Structure formats: structure tokens, C-alpha cells
Amino acid sequence: MSERTLVLVKPDGVRRGVVGEVVSRIERKGLKLVALELRTLPRETAEAHYGEHSSKPFFGELVDFITGGPLVAMVVEGPRAIEAFRALAGATDPVKATPGTVRGDFALEIGENIVHGSDSTDSAAREIKLFFPELG
């Protein structure tokens, strides 16, 4: 049974030049790309995407960061794609993320942890609709 997840290479990842590295790891794992686009997010989209964090003290910084440059948005498909990509990404805090994961290999700061991946079937459906309404 296949499912879809929304993956972002966030502006720090684009700036660092690791888009190809992330795409390569997704493909090596056997997951399939369904959509892929470089774009700069409007503030409203960023606020909607991170809506669950709107009351957190870091929300303003998070929205500034994610809108601060182009990112790469992807829809990725495969068996248990949501969990599979979260495993490739590693823990939210890159210092705690296991080496071998994207965050474990390429990042040091929680606010600049290179990638996003949906965390549940509900959030995947919501996020894919927000970024790629034409896939709905």
C-alpha cells in the first residue's frame, strides 16, 4: 500500500547545495518523486504550513527562515513513505540526529535542519494540498 508525503529541502539546504544529495537519498531508498519544484514561499503559505507551531516562541523566526529564500518542495511516494522519509531525515535536533541521516550529516542547529517531512497521514494530506493543490 503506497502513500504520499510532502518533503521540503528548506532554504538552508538550497543555500548549502544539498538538494541533489537529498533527492539522491530519496531515490536510493526506493521512494518515487511525484512532484518537485523550486519556489519561494509567501508568508501566508508558510504560516499555514507551520500552523501547529503558531503559539511557539520560535514561530516568527521559523516563518522568517522558511520564507527567506527559495526552497525545493516535493511530493514523495512509496510504501510507508511518511515514516521512511522521517527516518532518512533524522531527529529534529541535528546534534541528536544519527550520523547517516540528512540532519545528522549536514546540520548543527535546530532552526536550520535542512529538510521537512510530513509527520502523519493527516498532515501529509494537508501539506500536499497546500503546496500542490493540483495533485488533490
Residues carrying an active site annotation = 116
**Cα distance between residue 82 and residue 6, in whole Å:** 8
User: What torsion do the CA atoms of 87, 89, 91, 92 make, to the nearest 10 degrees?
Assistant: -140
Task: Name the residue nearer to ligand DAT (CB basis): 23 or 110.
Answer: 110
The yes or no reply on residue 54 touching ligand DAT (CB under 6 A) is no
Partner touching 92 among Mg ion, ligand DAT, none, CB below 5 to 8 Å by kind: ligand DAT
**Cα distance between residue 70 and residue 34, in whole Å:** 20
Task: Name the residue nearer to ligand DAT (CB basis): 102 or 134.
Answer: 102
**Cα distance between residue 117 and residue 76, in whole Å:** 10
Segment interacting with ligand DAT (CB under 6 A) among 19-27, 68-76, 77-85, 111-119? 111-119
Number of residue whose CB is nearest ligand DAT: 92
The residue written with cell numbers 494530506 in the block is 125
- Parallel, antiparallel, or unpaired: how do β-strands 32-39 and 115-117 relate? unpaired
Segment 86-105, which members bind ligand DAT (CB under 6 A)?
92
86 is in an annotated binding site: yes
Sorted by sequence, the CB contacts under 8 Å of residue 18 that are 6+ apart come out as 9, 102, 106, 114
Task: Name the residue nearer to ligand DAT (CB basis): 14 or 134.
Answer: 14
Size of the site for ligand DAT (CB under 6 A): 9
132 is in an annotated binding site: no
101 is in an annotated binding site: no
Binding-site members for ATP are 10, 58, 86, 92, 103, 113
